């Protein structure tokens, strides 16, 4: 990476990084769960099909969660499930990222020590700070040594772990507050997920290393995980079913088939409409910024970018839907029963509503349908804990993702679009029907997609110069359009509120 840091700072950073690297032989012997013959076979397969070995490891690891889930369903409830969840999660990490799995181990050991030693009031701050600092250092390291690189490393699983540690710290705090009878509004809102007793180390490890979401999430609540492992999700204390237990076959197959479709779409469509240079994605000029491409008419360039971004999203859809199915197979994705004993659905591990996201009529809906469990994490443990601060939410989301300028350009643009949406909802929407699939509703969906695809290209390109160049190639219409629309809508009269019929 070309850096503007002073040479002295770079020397210190390089020395620190080399010191950490020198510890690898110390931790290499911990990678004992994956035999060398397995690695050799995967390497041979990678060479035979021309697939990057790291990506192949991740893909195979995702699919291996299905037979592991089948085994999980046959295990008795209790400690054996926690042990299985931990060991197989550790195996998947060693299979996919090798010795880097030690970052998960270190994080969990330090975090559990904090849980045992710190009072809940201090823990709710100290543990999230520790978790965020760890992933921050991981992101900075990756950006420093492999700028714009797309190599798979420990930071992906570490992002999932960060959410789990963050949530658990507040779960324990909420349990303490509620047990003490304190009037804490945020704790009461999250009372369903409060943890009243400190989890055992085995329960903690089982949750943190859970095999079905260790690689791609979603990070769901500790209480959801425990109720699935101890059987209380489906059965009462005396062993009676809480209701008619639904079949897990279709929820599993539906998610698996969707993930396969998304993977195929990504491979086919992504190769036809690349955003980056396929031969040198890290170093060469992005495909959408080459002089040859920029000579095309604007409508062609924007249409190409729109399709390319749809194709790019398919890899996230694949990972999330695959993980959803792997969780549903052992009922971790089941929501349980209501008071009448009726099944409540399979939303616990749903991380994306593909149709809802792609056809969203506003930013609020769009953000709720994308990476849904991350949105819940930000809502429950950032938004309501900071008195409804959107600045805190956007800042936390940006830090959690990393430190590429493109992330921040995107997150700073979204509020601008949101401002226009809000004033349009106030000044324009009352004149039209609120029903779906009306001409106005269709126009809102098109406008949302039009402006969002413009802004999200920065998130995909990462680098500051490339992001600005991409926006410039589209004449900054997203930013200019938002400012102009806001100015126009502000001058319109606000329609009187319709009186409710008695």
Residue 297 has pLDDT above 70, yes or no: yes
- Res. 16: pLDDT tops 80: yes
Q: What are phi and psi of 430, to 5 degrees?
A: -60, -20
Tokens 């001058």 -> residue: 491
Under a CB-based contact definition with an 8 Å cutoff, are residues 325 and 316 in contact? no
Mean pLDDT of 217-224: 94
Peptide bond connecting 218 to the previous residue in cis, omega within 30 degrees of 0: yes
Q: Indicate whether 3 pLDDT > 80.
A: no
**pLDDT at residue 17 above 90?**
no
Q: Kindly state the average pLDDT of the residues 416-435.
A: 89
Lowest-confidence segment of 48-62, 122-136, 175-189, 236-250 by average pLDDT: 48-62
186 Cβ neighbours under 8 A, 6+ residues apart: 174, 384, 385
In this structure, how many other beta carbons lie within 10 angstroms of the beta carbon of residue 467? Answer: 24
Is residue 226 within 8 A of residue 203, CB to CB? The reply is yes
pLDDT over 60 at 81, yes or no: yes
Question: pLDDT averaged over the chain?
Answer: 92
The mean pLDDT value for 451-455 works out to 94
pLDDT score at 4:
59
Percent of the chain with pLDDT over 70: 98
pLDDT at 498: 66
What's residue 184's pLDDT? 87
What average pLDDT does range 117-132 have in this prediction?
96
Q: Answer whether residue 500 shows pLDDT above 80.
A: no
Mean pLDDT, rounded, for 364-373: 89
Domain spans, the chain:
24-229, 249-490
- Tell whether the model's pLDDT for residue 326 goes beyond 60: yes
pLDDT tens digits along 338-357: 989 999 999 999 999 999 99
230-249: pLDDT as tens digits: 999 999 999 899 999 999 99
Average pLDDT over residues 176-193: 91
194 with 171: CB under 8 angstroms?
yes
For residues 310 and 279, the model is more confident at: 310
Q: Supply the pLDDT for residue 502.
A: 45
Which runs of consecutive H residues, i.e. helices, occur in 380-476? 390-401, 405-427, 439-461, 464-473
End-to-end CA distance of the chain: 67
Which residues are CB-neighbours of 94 under 8 A, at least 6 positions away?
31, 32, 33, 34, 101
Q: pLDDT tens across 4-15, in order? A: 567 777 878 788
Whether 499 shows a pLDDT value over 70: the answer reads no
- Measured in degrees and rounded to the nearest 5, phi and psi for residue 126 equal -65, -45
48-52, 92-96, 271-275, 372-376: segment of lowest average pLDDT: 48-52
pLDDT at residue 5 in the model = 63
pLDDT at 126: 97
- pLDDT of 1 reads 47
């Amino acid at each position: 990476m070309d850096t503007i840091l002073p040479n002295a700072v770079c020397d210190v950073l390089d020395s620190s990084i080399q010191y950490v690297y020198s510890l690898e032989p110390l931790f290499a012997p911990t990678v004992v769960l994956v035999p060398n013959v397995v690695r050799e076979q995967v390497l041979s397969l990678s060479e035979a099909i021309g697939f990057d070995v790291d990506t192949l490891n991740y893909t195979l690891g995702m699919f291996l969660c299905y037979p592991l889930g089948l085994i999980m369903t046959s295990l008795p409830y209790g400690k054996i499930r926690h042990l299985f969840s931990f060991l197989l999660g550790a195996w998947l990490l060693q299979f996919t990222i090798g010795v880097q799995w030690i970052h998960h181990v270190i994080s969990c050991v330090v975090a559990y020590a904090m849980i045992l030693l710190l009072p809940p009031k201090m823990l709710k701050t100290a543990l999230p700070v520790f978790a965020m600092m760890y992933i921050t250092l991981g992101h900075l390291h990756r950006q420093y040594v492999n700028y714009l690189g797309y190599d798979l490393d420990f930071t992906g699983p570490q992002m999932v772990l960060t959410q789990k540690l963050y949530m658990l710290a507040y779960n324990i705090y909420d349990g303490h507050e509620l047990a003490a009878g304190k009037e804490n509004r945020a704790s009461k809102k999250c009372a369903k997920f409060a943890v009243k007793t400190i989890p055992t180390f085995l329960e903690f490890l089982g949750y943190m290393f859970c095999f079905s979401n260790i690689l791609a999430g979603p990070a769901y609540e500790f209480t959801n995980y425990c109720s699935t492992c101890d059987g209380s999700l489906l059965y009462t204390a005396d062993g009676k079913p809480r209701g008619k237990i639904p079949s897990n076959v279709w929820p599993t197959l539906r998610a698996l088939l969707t993930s396969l479709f998304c993977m195929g779409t990504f491979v086919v469509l992504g190769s036809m409409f690349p955003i980056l240079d396929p031969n040198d994605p890290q170093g060469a000029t992005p495909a959408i910024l080459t002089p040859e491409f920029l000579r095309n008419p604007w409508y062609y360039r924007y249409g190409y970018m729109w399709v390319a971004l749809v194709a790019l999203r398919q890899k996230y859809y694949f990972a999330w839907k695959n993980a959803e199915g792997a969780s549903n197979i052992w009922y971790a994705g089941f929501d349980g029963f209501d008071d009448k004993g009726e099944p409540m659905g399979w939303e616990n591990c749903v991380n994306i509503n593909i149709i809802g996201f792609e056809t969203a009529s506003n930013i609020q809906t769009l953000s709720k349908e994308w990476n849904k469990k991350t949105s819940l994490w930000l809502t429950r443990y950032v938004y309501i804990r900071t008195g409804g601060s959107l600045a805190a939410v956007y800042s936390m989301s940006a830090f959690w993702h990393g430190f590429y300028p493109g992330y921040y350009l995107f997150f700073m643009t979204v509020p601008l679009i949101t401002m226009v949406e809000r004033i349009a909802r106030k000044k324009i929407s009352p004149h039209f029907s609120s029903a779906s699939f009306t001409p106005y509703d269709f126009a809102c969906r098109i406008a949302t997609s039009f402006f969002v695809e413009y802004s999200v290209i920065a998130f995909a390109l990462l680098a500051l110069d490339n992001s600005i160049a991409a926006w410039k190639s589209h004449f900054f219409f997203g930013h200019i359009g938002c400012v102009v629309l806001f100015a126009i809508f502000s001058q319109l009269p606000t329609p009187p509120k319709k009186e409710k019929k008695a």
